[in-house]
């Protein structure tokens, strides 16, 4: 199965990106740019980001037998990601439709396709891959039951959960998160309260049972909270954003690699914000991710 010490369990999509002047309201038709197809999906994004910054990474997920699947496999392999955990299914490869506005922000609709085949049974057949990992990373574009299954097969690993898109989490899963990575809106959803105080949100999620928490703030950086101290603010890189698509995934993948290398959580987050900072200065998701020698020192 190879020597991967970071295993990413999750989704793989092809992003269909269209640039628009503004987000349409109900009933409105607007003209956009020509459609651009790029490799994406939160799981594949995080695996590619981790591979490019030098991690020994494996990806566990599903794509179709179509040309979109070929595109994703090529991107993962090009980043040095081990593909023993990937399978090709008769279902179409997952698709994300991304509307990008001039401010660099995006709105996304996901059609899961082959990602629905990442079932608990599928994950269980890759138990050997998970058993060798130092860090296991998951997101919520696949079935929650499959994420739980991955944790079950990797009791020795540090479990990193990027709880996006937002959904309720069972206490038993939350208690395995080290860290739980969420943005402000996802944190507020999990706590059932609105707040623009990232430190308070991080403390609240620790109180709910997470072992450690990272609340990402986009251009404002991130709050990192561990059980043995007060939350620490990690400033974002100062850059001119062009496209924020996949920047959060760049952060997660980079952070996982530094954790696997033995870095503390704050140190890992400082590296991760630099990787995310590079990514927003370039177009696309996986196409925007830097290699290790392109990442500024924290």
Confidence of residue 1 (pLDDT cuts 50, 70, 90): very low
pLDDT for residue 242: 84
Q: Any known ligand binding at 21?
A: no
What is the rounded distance in angstroms from the CA atom of residue 80 to the CA atom of residue 83?
9
Element (H, E) at 172: helix 171-174
Q: 158 pairs with which residues across the strands?
A: 135
Q: For the chain, which residues make up each domain, given as ranges? A: 6-22+35-285
| Superfamily (CATH H level) for 6-22+35-285 | Ribokinase (3.40.1190.20)
Residue 88 confidence (pLDDT) above 50:
yes
Average pLDDT over residues 141-145: 96
Which of 62, 66, 69, 167 shows the shortest CA–CA distance to 115? 62
Q: DSSP alpha helices (H): ranges in the chain? A: 42-52, 67-78, 120-124, 127-131, 144-152, 171-174, 184-191, 198-208, 247-260, 265-279
* Tens digit of each residue's pLDDT (9 = 90 or more) over 205-261: 999 999 999 999 988 999 999 998 899 999 998 888 888 888 999 999 999 999 999
* Tens digit of each residue's pLDDT (9 = 90 or more) over 149-201: 999 999 999 999 999 999 999 999 999 999 999 999 999 999 998 888 999 99
Average pLDDT over residues 270-277: 97
Answer for the pair 72, 101: CB distance below 8 angstroms, yes or no: no
Confidence of residue 3 (pLDDT cuts 50, 70, 90): low
What is the rounded distance in angstroms from the CA atom of residue 150 to the CA atom of residue 131?
10
Q: Any known ligand binding at 216?
A: yes
Q: Any known ligand binding at 249?
A: yes
What is the rounded distance in angstroms from the CA atom of residue 234 to the CA atom of residue 25?
36
Residues in the chain: 298
For residue 44, give both structure tokens. 């594949």
Q: Any known ligand binding at 248?
A: yes
What is the rounded distance in angstroms from the CA atom of residue 169 to the CA atom of residue 190?
8
Q: Any known ligand binding at 162?
A: no
- Catalytic residues, by residue number, are 249
């Amino acid at each position: 199965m190879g020597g991967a010490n970071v295993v990413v369990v999750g989704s793989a999509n092809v992003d269909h990106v269209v640039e628009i002047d503004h987000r349409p309201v109900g009933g409105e038709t607007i003209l956009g740019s020509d459609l651009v197809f790029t490799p994406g999906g939160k799981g594949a994004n995080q695996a590619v980001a981790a591979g490019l910054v030098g991690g020994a990474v494996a990806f566990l997920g599903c794509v179709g037998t179509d040309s979109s699947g070929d595109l994703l496999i090529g991107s993962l392999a090009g980043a040095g990601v081990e593909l023993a955990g990937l399978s090709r299914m008769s279902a179409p490869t997952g698709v994300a439709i991304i509307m990008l506005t001039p401010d660099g922000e995006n709105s996304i609709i996901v059609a899961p396709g082959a990602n629905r085949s990442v079932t608990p049974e599928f994950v269980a057949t890759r138990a050997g891959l998970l058993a060798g990992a130092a860090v296991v990373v998951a997101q919520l574009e696949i079935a929650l039951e499959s994420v739980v299954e991955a944790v079950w097969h990797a009791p020795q690993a540090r479990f990193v959960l990027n709880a996006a898109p937002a959904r309720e989490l069972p206490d038993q899963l939350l208690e395995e998160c080290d860290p739980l990575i969420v943005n402000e809106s996802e944190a507020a959803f999990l706590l059932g309260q609105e707040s623009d105080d990232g430190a308070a949100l991080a403390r609240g999620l620790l109180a709910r049972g997470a072992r450690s928490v990272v609340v990402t703030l986009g251009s404002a950086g991130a709050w990192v909270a561990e059980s043995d101290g007060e939350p620490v603010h990690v400033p974002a890189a100062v850059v001119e954003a062009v496209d924020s698509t996949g920047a959060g995934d760049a952060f997660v993948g980079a952070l996982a690699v530094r954790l696997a290398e033995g870095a503390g959580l704050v140190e890992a987050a400082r590296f991760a914000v630099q990787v995310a900072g590079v990514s927003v200065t370039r177009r696309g998701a996986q196409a925007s991710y830097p290699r290790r020698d392109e990442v500024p020192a924290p």
